[in-house]
Structure 1
Amino acid sequence: MKRQKRDRQDRAHSRGYQAGVAGRSRDMCPYQSTEAKSEWLGGWREAIADKQQGLVK
């Protein structure tokens, strides 16, 4: 059970990162649960920071 939760959170983080790289707004988060939404936003913020530093085109 814990493995599934961790995998879902990793997936949410990855999808948030992809959304950030694509330039989508943080309001586009598809998750409703607090944990998944938090992971998605964390990935999104990471992507925005990477874009500002020039690590991602």
Structure 2
Amino acid sequence: MMKRQKRDRLERAQSQGYKAGLNGRSVEACPYSQMDARSYWLGGWRDAREEKQMGLYK
């Protein structure tokens, strides 16, 4: 049970980071201070920025 809750929390952090990246928000907008969630948020943010640069999103 604990593992699932943690995974859900980290997936949520990543999707929030992804949305922030798509919306052009700064990396400073990351709301997480815990390292695990923060790294997932930043990973999502980076993915979105790369996809925008490749022209997948306008």
In structure 1, what is the equivalent of residue 52 of structure 2?
51
Aligned partners of 2:27, 2:44: CA distance in 1, in Å? 10
Residue 7 (structure 1) aligned with residue 8 (structure 2): yes
TM-score (structure 2 length as normaliser): 0.96
Aligned mates of 1:56, 1:10 — CA distance in 2: 21
In structure 2, distance between residues paired with 1:55 and 1:40: 20
CA–CA distance in structure 1, aligned partners of residues 33 and 55 of structure 2: 31
Structure 1 residue ranges (4+ consecutive) displaced by more than 4 angstroms after TM superposition: none
In structure 2, C-alpha distance between the alignment counterparts of 1:17 and 1:30, rounded to whole Å: 13
Q: Distance in 1 between the 2:3 and 2:35 partners? A: 17
Which residue of structure 2 aligns with residue 31 of structure 1? 32
1:56 CA displacement: 1.4
TM-score (norm 1): 0.98
Q: Runs of 5+ in structure 2 lacking a partner?
A: none
Q: Distance in 1 between matches of 2:7 and 2:36?
A: 10
